[in-house]
Amino acid sequence: MSGTVHFKGAFPIGDTDVANLPVKHLGPAIGYYTLVLGFVLVSREEGRAVLQRDEARIGLAENGQDPEQASCYFAVSDVEGLRRELEAKGIEPTAIRVDQHEGKQYRVCFAREPYGVCFCFGQQI
């Protein structure tokens, strides 16, 4: 898998289904997730693919939904390391900030993939 940052899980933000992240074209999206985000293709069938990086498993689907309305959270072992990893690949994540969720603090940064889905990467403090 890519980098030294461990992905601990993928979780929905809002009503996004991480098992069916919407994409307009499956092939280019698979390329982005594998080459840039370090995921591995687990399976692919007509209009759908499953990818995984460490413990984070996601599904991509040509399902007619708007990718710009989808968001998900990736729990990672090292948010600074992930930010450096993304920057090295030409991605411009936001600055790291501290957010609170359900009484816990997290260091987080955000990035949007070129097809529309917004990602939050975070590490519990």
Please report, for the chain, the start and end positions of each structural domain, with discontinuous segments joined by +: 7-124
**CATH topology assigned to domain 7-124:** 2,3-Dihydroxybiphenyl 1,2-Dioxygenase; domain 1 (3.10.180)
The H or E element containing residue 81 is helix 79-88
pLDDT of res. 120? 96
Spatial contact of 59 and 21, defined as CB atoms under 8 Å apart: yes
**pLDDT tens-place string over residues 32-43:** 999 989 999 999
Report how far residue 125's alpha carbon sits from residue 122's, in angstroms, rounded to the nearest whole number: 9
Predicted confidence band of residue 1 (pLDDT cuts 50, 70, 90): very low
pTM of the shown model:
0.92
Mean pLDDT, residues 90-95? 93
